[in-house]
Amino acid sequence: MKKFLDKIITGFFVFTFGIAWYCTTQYYVNNKPYRIVVYDVYGKESNLDIRKKFQNNKVAFSYVKEYQKIFPHLNFSIEHTFPEIKRRAFFEKIFQKN
């Protein structure tokens, strides 16, 4: 009887800590995308056939320096969009308001 009670108590704590761990990791953040914006001489946004989307700030800055050497009459800037924090789909379905 004592071994059976030990298994029940162990199972209860494993289940409880598993649920607690799952609930604390419910949020995740996507990568921060960076985009290069091209401006002409008059300050208007123009469209060039170049690579514009990046996942890293250093790479985007490196491309901006290269593009400034190739196109000296244009201005380039890096635009950063803030990431969205998303919930896991499991909890969205449970706590969904009708």
- pLDDT tens-digit series, residues 64-77: 999 999 989 889 88
Q: What DSSP string describes 3-19?
A: HHHHHHHHHHHHHHHHH
Say how far apart CA 36 and CA 78 lie, in whole Å.
5
How wide is the angle at C-alpha 45 spanned by C-alphas 42 and 46, nearest 5°? 95
For 29-38, 44-53, 81-90, which range has the lowest pLDDT when averaged over its residues?
A: 81-90
- Let me know: does 81 contact 32? Beta carbons within 8 Å: yes
Entry pTM: 0.51
- What pLDDT was estimated at residue 21? 84
pLDDT at 43 over 90: no
Q: What is the mean pLDDT of residues 42-49?
A: 85
Q: What is the mean pLDDT of residues 1-18?
A: 90
Coil, helix or strand at residue 26? coil
